[in-house]
């Protein structure tokens, strides 16, 4: 089953708490890594 890179990044974060961009290459990997970075920034900016 194909999962869009952005959705895969969100799913990986929710289920495993980590990211696995190795499953993608080229533009799809960049899209996955961009989404992973966005999620990490959002996570880091949460109030304590």
In a domain, 46, yes or no: no
Give the confidence band of 1 by pLDDT, cuts at 50, 70, 90.
low
| Count of domains observed in the chain | 1
Give pLDDT, residue 47.
Answer: 77
Instruction: Write the pLDDT tens digit of every residue in 3-43.
Output: 899 999 999 999 999 999 999 999 999 999 999 999 999 98
Phi first, then psi, for residue 47 (nearest 5°) are -70, 150
In a domain, 47, yes or no: no
In a domain, 22, yes or no: yes
Contact 23, 8 (CB under 8 A): yes
Please give the span between the terminal C-alpha atoms of the chain, in angstroms, as a whole number: 38
pTM (2 d.p.): 0.84
Give pLDDT, residue 37.
Answer: 97
In a domain, 33, yes or no: yes
Question: Distance (Å, rounded) from C-alpha 27 to C-alpha 31?
Answer: 6
Contact 9, 32 (CB under 8 A): yes
In a domain, 13, yes or no: yes
pLDDT of 48 > 90? The answer is no
């Amino acid at each position: 089953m194909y999962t869009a890179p952005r959705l895969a990044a969100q799913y990986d974060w929710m289920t495993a708490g980590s990211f696995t961009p190795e499953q993608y290459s080229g533009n799809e990997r960049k899209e996955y890594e961009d989404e992973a970075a966005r999620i990490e920034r959002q996570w880091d900016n949460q109030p304590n």
